[in-house]
C-alpha cells in the first residue's frame, strides 16, 4: 500500500514485468484502470414518475416493459405494456386457472399503451396504441413489451404477441408489428408474425422476447432475448435478427445467440459499435458489454443496482451515424409493487452516465 497521500499512482513496475491474468485484463482489456474513467461504466439514479394513475393500488393495473423513448413533435413518447384487469394476476404458476378475463402473468391480457411528456418526469397517458387483435390472430391473448423503430419517416412498434396465457407451458410467444405515419397513430397491425420462434431444437424455439430495435449499415437490427432449456431450466441469452425492410422477414444471425446473459434487452449505438446493459440472468449478468462489429460482445464494465427492463432515450438509435454518443437516461420498471396479492409493476426513470463526451475531448 502506498504511503503517499491520495491520489497515488500505480508503480511503473506493475506494468513492466510479467503479469497475472487478472492484471493483463486490467491493463489491456479494460480501456481505463478505474471503472469511473470508463465511459461504459455508470451508476444509476432512480426517480419516480409523475402522472400515471395507480390509485386503485390493488394489483389490477400494471405498467411495465417500456420502449425506447422518442422525441417527436416537441415532446417525449414512450410505449409500454399495460394490463388493466378486474382482478390481480395469478402469476405464471397460476396459469392453468387463467380465464378470458383473469390474467396469469403480470403481462398476460395486456395491451400496448403510450404516454407523452414535456420533461421525461411527468407523463400523460394518451391511450392504447396496439389493442389485442381478435381471436385467433397472433396476439389475441396479450400484446406486450414493445419497442419503437423510426425508419424512413414511418414508425413501427414491435411487440410480443401471445396466443396462450403466459406460464401455461412457458413464456412462449413470437414478435408481431404495427406501423403508422405518426407516433400518435393510428397503428396498422400487420397480420401474423414478423419474427418467429426458432425451429424445433433451435435455441429460440419457444420464444422471441423483448425486441430492441436499432439501425446499422442501412439495415434494421432487432436484438431479442430467448431461453435455452425451457421449461425445465432457464438460461436466457440474446439473439440478433436483421432486415432491410421493417415489414419483411428478419434473418436471424448465424452466430446466435450473440450474448450469453442478460434479461430485458437494453442497447444503444456507441462509437462505431453497439453497447448492451445485461442484467439479472447468466454468468455475465450486471455488466455493460460492447461489440465493435455489432455481433461479438465482450464485457466493458461491471455495474450495480442496474435498472430492470431498461430502454434508453437515444436520439442516435435510428441515425446510423456510425458514431454513437451514448445515453444519459431512460425508463425502466419495478415489479411486485403493492406486495403479496396486489403485485403489479410501475414505470420509473433512471439517469446514468454512459456518454462518450465524459472523457473524450475530441468528441462533439
Ligand atoms: C418481461 C420481458 C418479457 C417477458 C415478460 C414480459 O419483463 O422479459 O416481456 O415475456 O417479462
Tell me the best of 209, 266, 308 to mutate to test the pocket of ligand 1, counting ligand atoms within 8 Å of each CB and taking the most: 209
**What integer is the mean pLDDT of 46-58?**
89
**What integer is the mean pLDDT of 19-27?**
85
pLDDT value for 6 = 44
Q: Are strands 142-151 and 154-162 parallel, antiparallel or unpaired?
A: antiparallel
Give the number of the atom of ligand 1 that is nearest the alpha carbon of residue 308.
7
pLDDT in tens, 267-305: 999 999 999 999 999 999 999 999 999 999 999 999 999
Give the number of the atom of ligand 1 that is nearest the alpha carbon of residue 171.
10
CA of 130 to the centre of ligand 1 (A): 17
By percentage, how much of the chain surpasses pLDDT 90?
79
CA of 290 to the centre of ligand 1 (A): 23
Report how far residue 144's alpha carbon sits from residue 173's, in angstroms, rounded to the nearest whole number: 10
Find the residues whose C-beta lies inside 6 A of ligand 1. 65, 107, 144-145, 160, 171, 209-210, 263-264, 309
Tell me the best of 105, 144, 331 to mutate to test the pocket of ligand 1, counting ligand atoms within 8 Å of each CB and taking the most: 144
Tell me the best of 104, 147, 210, 266 to mutate to test the pocket of ligand 1, counting ligand atoms within 8 Å of each CB and taking the most: 210
Q: How high does pLDDT run on average in the chain?
A: 92
Quick check: 7 pLDDT over 60?
no
CA of 166 to the centre of ligand 1 (A): 10
pLDDT value for 115 = 98
CA of 17 to the centre of ligand 1 (A): 48
- Give me the torsion for CA of 80, 180, 154, 269, rounded to 10°: 10
pLDDT in tens, 224-274: 999 876 666 778 999 999 999 999 999 999 999 999 999 999 999 999 999
Helix/strand/coil (H, E, C) string of 165-187?
CCCCCCCCECEEEEEECCCCCCC
Quick check: 125 pLDDT over 50?
yes
Report how far residue 326's alpha carbon sits from residue 328's, in angstroms, rounded to the nearest whole number: 7
**Count of Cβ atoms closer than 10 Å to residue 72 Cβ:** 14
Report how far residue 83's alpha carbon sits from residue 76's, in angstroms, rounded to the nearest whole number: 22
pLDDT in tens, 131-179: 999 999 999 999 999 999 999 999 999 999 999 999 999 999 999 999 9
Quick check: 34 pLDDT over 90?
no
Report how far residue 323's alpha carbon sits from residue 316's, in angstroms, rounded to the nearest whole number: 9
The closest residue, in CA terms, to atom 9 on ligand 1 is: 145
User: For residues 129 and 112, is the Cβ–Cβ distance under 8 A?
Assistant: yes
In this prediction, residue 19 has a pLDDT band, given cuts at 50, 70 and 90, of: confident
In this prediction, residue 358 has a pLDDT band, given cuts at 50, 70 and 90, of: low
CA of 118 to the centre of ligand 1 (A): 28
Give the number of the atom of ligand 1 that is nearest the alpha carbon of residue 207.
10
Return the SS3 of 95: helix
ipTM greater than 0.85: yes
Amino acid at each position: 500500500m502506498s504511503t503517499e497521500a491520495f491520489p497515488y499512482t500505480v508503480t511503473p513496475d506493475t506494468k513492466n514485468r510479467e503479469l497475472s491474468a487478472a492484471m493483463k485484463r486490467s491493463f489491456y482489456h479494460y480501456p481505463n484502470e478505474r471503472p469511473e474513467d470508463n465511459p461504459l461504466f455508470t451508476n444509476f439514479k432512480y426517480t419516480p414518475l409523475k402522472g400515471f394513475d395507480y390509485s386503485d393500488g390493488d394489483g389490477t393495473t400494471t405498467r411495465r416493459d417500456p420502449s425506447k423513448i422518442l422525441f417527436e413533435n416537441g415532446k417525449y413518447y414512450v410505449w409500454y405494456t399495460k394490463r388493466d384487469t378486474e382482478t390481480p394476476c395469478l402469476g405464471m404458476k397460476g396459469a392453468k386457472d387463467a380465464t378470458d378475463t383473469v390474467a396469469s402473468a403480470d403481462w398476460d391480457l395486456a395491451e400496448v399503451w403510450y404516454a407523452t411528456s414535456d420533461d421525461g418526469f411527468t407523463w400523460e397517458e394518451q391511450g392504447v396504441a396496439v389493442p389485442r387483435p381478435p381471436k385467433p390472430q397472433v396476439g389475441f391473448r396479450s400484446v406486450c413489451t414493445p419497442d419503437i423503430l423510426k425508419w424512413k419517416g414511418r414508425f413501427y412498434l414491435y411487440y410480443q404477441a401471445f396466443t396462450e396465457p403466459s406460464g401455461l407451458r412457458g413464456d412462449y410467444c413470437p414478435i408481431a408489428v404495427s406501423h403508422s405515419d405518426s407516433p400518435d397513430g393510428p397503428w396498422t397491425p400487420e397480420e401474423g408474425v414478423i419474427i418467429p420462434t426458432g425451429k424445433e431444437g433451435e435455441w429460440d424455439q419457444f420464444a422471441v422476447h423483448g425486441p430492441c430495435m436499432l439501425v446499422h449499415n442501412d439495415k434494421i437490427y432487432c436484438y431479442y432475448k430467448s431461453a435455452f432449456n425451457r421449461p425445465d431450466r432457464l438460461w436466457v441469452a440474446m439473439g440478433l435478427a436483421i432486415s432491410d425492410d421493417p415489414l419483411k422477414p428478419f434473418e436471424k444471425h448465424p452466430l446466435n445467440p450473440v450474448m450469453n446473459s442478460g434479461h430485458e434487452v437494453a442497447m444503444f449505438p456507441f462509437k462505431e459499435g453497439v453497447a448492451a446493459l445485461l442484467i439479472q440472468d447468466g454468468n455475465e449478468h450486471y455488466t455493460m458489454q460492447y461489440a465493435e462489429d455489432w455481433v461479438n460482445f465482450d464485457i466493458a464494465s461491471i455495474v450495480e443496482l442496474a435498472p430492470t427492463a431498461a430502454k434508453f432515450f437515444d436520439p442516435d438509435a435510428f441515425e446510423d451515424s456510425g458514431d454513437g454518443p451514448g445515453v444519459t437516461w431512460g425508463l425502466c420498471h419495478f415489479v411486485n409493487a403493492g406486495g403479496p396479492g396486489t403485485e403489479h409493476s410501475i414505470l420509473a426513470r433512471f439517469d446514468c452516465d454512459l456518454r462518450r463526451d465524459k472523457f473524450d475531448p475530441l468528441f462533439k
